[in-house]
Structure 1
Amino acid sequence: MTIRVVVADDQELVRAGFAMILAAQPGIEVVAESGDGFEAVGAARAHRPDVVLLDIRMPGMDGIEAARIICAETACRVIMLTTFGQDGYLFDALRAGASGFLLKDVRRDDLVHAVRMVAAGDSLLAPSVTRTLIAAFTSGAVVPPPRTERLDVLTARERETLRLLGCGLSNAEIAAALVVSEHTVKTHVSNILTKLGLRDRVQAVIAAYETGMVIPGRFTD
């Protein structure tokens, strides 16, 4: 199955470079290129791609607002691109629905891998971005007021699974902690995403912090 991609960046050389790399890969088709957020939203609406690569900083409509619209209106999955490893827009981008976050100096193979992973339903963050995310939460820099009412739709076991997701555990580690099979964990994770209206595990981690399931600075009880 061909992965359809839209590339949006206000720098023509960067945009063309990413498009050329992706278009040369088997099973990937670049269906449109966009120079700003408005064009990116229009391309997503018109072409319904599987993945949209969005530069965060673009004129007119920035990448975060474009991601918010694209994720709300379509099933497209978004990968945000930035020049900076500790971009202050990281949390806004993830809350807008982004499933991936990569630096623009990403290696060719890593870019292709990211597109394939996100298209398959996974989420992906550059290692430096992951460190930024975890450091901000564990330092207490990002501590939104708990919104525990969101959890009312979850069963007790789903809540525990969400807490462990927020602690950064893999499915295998969660299975060991709960003494259940990985298949059961996958079912719990799927139910959590569906009930809370989340797109992927990245948003589940954010939800775990936002609802007070995980306390910044403490990954285990």
Structure 2
Amino acid sequence: MNPKHFGVPAVLALTIIAWTGLSSAQWIADDSDWWSLLRPIEEEGGCSTPSKEKPTENNFVIADLRQGHPIREAGEKVARPSVIIERGDASTGRSQICFRSVSERGRFKLIFEEGEVASAAYLIDGGPSWRGADKCVVSPKISGNLATQSGLHLGMTAAQAERILGKPCIESNDGIEYAFDFSHLPTSDERQRLKGHGDFYPDEPFDWFGTIQIKFHRAKAYYIVILTGDTQ
């Protein structure tokens, strides 16, 4: 790793390397990762759905991995990643690992990404290539049948997604989006996890947020992202 890149993404990658036992990370100085919600993009009209209850966790679990630190566990539950890709800096700093299917020439992909305050998982069927796509690791666990615990999967229709998630807050001809916002006091697990952090205040609430985006081609989902994070 080049020391000049020792910023937010490098720190993330070094931490993940320590967790997973990996030996390398690769810096890529571009934003060709078109699928990423953490890359710098022009702000568009978003939406938010404040809630008195946290949305069901099943919508944010895929391959038995919950969002938070999915890269740490992906090596055990999916396949051992060959390298961690780093991109961006500061608020757009992100660390990524990618897996692809054995069949269909690697057409189906599962990508995990971690940033400064959020983590995401992406299910992709086809789509343009990007720098770093050659680092996707082949895994028999990746296929077009992979789904979240709630049943979100590639190839589904908008109507099927709405039966699981309800009415989206943004709709277009080729996609739907859900955004959730939930404020809560730290749980005992969160208190234990964050104990000793200088910026952690146990008596102040956390703002949990989540996003689900689904994009369609010929009325079938080819891109699904589930993202969560929290701030205090």
TM-score by length of 1: 0.28
Higher strand share: 2
Q: Which has the higher contact order (CA 8 A, sep 6+)?
A: 2
Higher helix share: 1
TM-score by length of 2: 0.27
